[in-house]
């Protein structure tokens, strides 16, 4: 029976937050934290079961109901197009919830979106499966998903989740196997379906999260113009600091848009500065780790972190808790910046190569934890999605 595990990383925005909305370049990188999915096929079952630890729930799909849905969809779309699939899946999930709960949906909004993503990606993988026009699911399976990424905190948790699910379903339906998934056409397929999963959660995603979570490393992204992977030698050490302040990305983006409407020339000058900062950062990231002594490059990256953070402060997306993090870090000689939408969420502290042997680092970590912040020591720019064997 088929069994394997998938690790799909999360992401951070290194530079270009908010400016990217206005067709300016941004740099995004995978982080060492991510989503772990375990897949186990069960020969004696006719149920697909999904245990989602982050949402504290278990969801089930009866294979008979699922195969009936597929048959109906094929009859209505004889050319095999999946363009209407998401709409049909939403309707099917609504009907199932009404039947099982006497017309009163019992799932939370986040759980319902997760269920739609599962059903949509699984149906898409089956309908587009190679070599068999009328593939159906004949054997049940169990999927266990746990994540190190906080939901809605700007670390790409939904894209990481979508990429892991897509990989599992594409392997299940014979698009590729656990040995060939790293081929470019297969990674592109994973990224495509992870993007489709993002549509369930975000409507019109930029495409950067699913790309970074799939391919890894650091990518340069311009909205509507695609992606370019940087040629880096090694990942950076970073400290992710959770401000524990929740916020709405959509609300923050709208607030910045209002500011730009009021002061267009001033805000556009900030966007231009953000673009120049990205240009200056790229050769530093690409050459870092190529020499024995990277101290001068690291110092330049620290300064870019500080300048980037000051530009973001100027558009009003900081927060008192973030300012507290910045102050604690700066007092200890470390440079930091907010990441993502801001107004809460996470801050990134740049760490030097030998940080573990630095007594000041441990004092920084202790002070941040004492102040009530969440701490994650990790990397930015490491490997992307990976599939590995799963022991019994």
Per-residue pLDDT of 63-75, as tens digits, reads: 999 999 999 999 8
148-152, 268-272, 284-288: segment of lowest average pLDDT: 148-152
Whether residue 94 is found in the same domain as residue 166: yes
Report the pLDDT value the prediction gives residue 225, as an integer from 0 to 100.
85
The residues, any chain, with a CB within 8 Å of residue 8's CB and separated by 6 or more, are: 34, 35, 37, 160, 161, 163, 164, 167, 213, 214, 385
Catalytic residue among 158, 191, 206, 243: 158
Q: Is the model's pLDDT at 110 over the cut of 50?
A: yes
Q: Is the model's pLDDT at 117 over the cut of 60?
A: yes
Report the pLDDT value the prediction gives residue 102, as an integer from 0 to 100.
55
Whether residue 260 is found in the same domain as residue 197: no
Whether residue 246 is found in the same domain as residue 276: yes
Task: Tell me the torsion sign for CA atoms 381, 214, 33, 112.
Answer: positive
Question: 85-100 and 184-202 are packed helices; what angle lies between their axes, rounded to 10 degrees?
Answer: 50
Whether residue 143 is found in the same domain as residue 113: yes
User: What mean pLDDT do residues 28-35 have?
Assistant: 92
Whether residue 149 is found in the same domain as residue 214: yes
For the whole model, what pTM was predicted? 0.88
User: What mean pLDDT do residues 146-166 have?
Assistant: 86
Report the pLDDT value the prediction gives residue 94, as an integer from 0 to 100.
86
Residues in the chain: 392
Whether residue 135 is found in the same domain as residue 88: yes
Report the pLDDT value the prediction gives residue 1, as an integer from 0 to 100.
84
CATH of the domain at 211: 3.30.230.10
Which domain range does residue 224 map to? Answer: 3-230+385-389
Whether residue 202 is found in the same domain as residue 83: yes
Look up 209 and say whether it is catalytic: yes
184-198, 278-292, 306-320: segment of lowest average pLDDT: 278-292
Q: Is the model's pLDDT at 105 over the cut of 60?
A: no
Helix, strand or coil for residue 60?
strand
Report the pLDDT value the prediction gives residue 149, as an integer from 0 to 100.
82
Report the pLDDT value the prediction gives residue 104, as an integer from 0 to 100.
47
Whether residue 113 is found in the same domain as residue 216: yes
Whether residue 153 is found in the same domain as residue 40: yes
Going by pLDDT thresholds of 50, 70 and 90, the confidence category of residue 375 is very high
Query: Which of the pair, 392 or 249, is modelled with greater confidence?
Result: 249
H or E element that contains 287: helix 264-287
User: What mean pLDDT do residues 351-371 have?
Assistant: 93
CATH of the domain at 345: 3.30.70.890
Report the pLDDT value the prediction gives residue 101, as an integer from 0 to 100.
57
User: What mean pLDDT do residues 91-107 have?
Assistant: 70
Whether residue 261 is found in the same domain as residue 353: yes
Burial of 392 (0-12, 13-18, 19+ CB in 10 A): exposed
User: What mean pLDDT do residues 305-316 have?
Assistant: 96
Which tokens hold the place of 140? 């049940």
Whether residue 70 is found in the same domain as residue 207: yes
The whole-angstrom separation of Cα 138 and Cα 66 is: 11
Q: Is the model's pLDDT at 15 over the cut of 50?
A: yes
Whether residue 213 is found in the same domain as residue 257: no
Number of domains observed in the structure of the chain: 2
Report the pLDDT value the prediction gives residue 107, as an integer from 0 to 100.
66
CB 198 within 8 A of CB 316: no
Question: 63-76 and 109-127 are packed helices; what angle lies between their axes, rounded to 10 degrees?
Answer: 60
pLDDT digits (tens, 9 = 90+) for 176-228: 999 999 999 999 999 999 999 988 877 777 788 899 999 999 999 898 888 89
DSSP 349: E
Look up 158 and say whether it is catalytic: yes
90-94, 100-104, 179-183: segment of lowest average pLDDT: 100-104
The whole-angstrom separation of Cα 190 and Cα 275 is: 30
How far lies 228's CA from each of 190, 218, 320, in Å? 17, 9, 35
Mean pLDDT, the chain, integer: 90
The whole-angstrom separation of Cα 190 and Cα 215 is: 10
Planar angle of CA 281, 284, 286, nearest 5 degrees: 110
Q: Is the model's pLDDT at 51 over the cut of 70?
A: yes
Report the pLDDT value the prediction gives residue 111, as an integer from 0 to 100.
83
Q: State the Rg of the chain over Cα.
A: 22
Catalytic residue among 157, 209, 243, 318: 209
């Amino acid at each position: 029976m088929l069994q394997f595990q998938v690790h799909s990383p999360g992401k951070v925005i290194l530079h270009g937050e908010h400016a990217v909305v206005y067709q300016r370049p941004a740099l995004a990188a995978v982080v060492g934290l991510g989503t772990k999915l375990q897949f186990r096929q069960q020969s004696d079952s006719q149920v697909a079961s999904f245990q989602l630890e982050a949402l504290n729930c278990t969801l089930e799909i009866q294979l008979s109901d699922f195969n009936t849905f597929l048959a109906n969809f094929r009859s209505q779309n004889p050319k095999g197009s999946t363009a209407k699939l998401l709409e049909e899946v939403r309707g099917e999930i609504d009907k199932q919830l009404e039947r099982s709960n006497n017309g009163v949906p019992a799932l939370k909004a986040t759980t319902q979106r997760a269920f739609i993503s599962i059903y949509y990606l699984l149906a898409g993988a089956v309908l587009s499966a190679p070599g068999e026009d009328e593939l159906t699911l004949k054997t049940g399976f169990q999927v266990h998903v746990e994540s190190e990424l906080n939901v809605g905190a700007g670390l790409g948790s939904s894209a990481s989740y979508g990429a892991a699910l897509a990989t599992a379903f594409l392997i299940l339906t014979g698009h590729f196997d656990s040995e060939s998934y790293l081929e470019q056409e297969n990674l592109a397929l994973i990224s495509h379906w992870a993007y489709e999963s993002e549509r369930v959660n975000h409507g019109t995603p930029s495409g950067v999260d699913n790309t970074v979570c799939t391919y890894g490393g650091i990518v340069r992204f311009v909205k509507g113009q695609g992606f370019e992977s940087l040629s880096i030698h090694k990942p950076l050490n970073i400290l992710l600091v959770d401000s524990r302040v929740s916020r709405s990305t959509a609300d923050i983006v709208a607030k910045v848009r209002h500011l730009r409407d009021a002061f267009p020339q001033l805000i556009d000058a900030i966007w231009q500065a953000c673009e120049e900062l990205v240009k200056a950062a790229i050769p530093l990231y690409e050459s870092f780790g190529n020499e024995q002594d990277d101290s001068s490059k690291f110092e330049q990256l620290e300064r870019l972190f500080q300048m980037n953070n000051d530009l973001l402060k100027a558009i009003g997306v900081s927060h008192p808790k973030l300012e507290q993090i910045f102050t604690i870090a700066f007092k200890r000689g470390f440079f930091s910046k907010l990441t993502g939408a801001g107004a809460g969420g996470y801050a990134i502290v740049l760490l030097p190569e030998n940080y573990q042997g630095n007594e000041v680092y441990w004092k920084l970590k202790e002070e941040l934890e004492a102040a009530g912040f969440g701490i994650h020591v990790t990397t930015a720019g490491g490997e992307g999605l990976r599939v590995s064997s799963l022991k019994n």
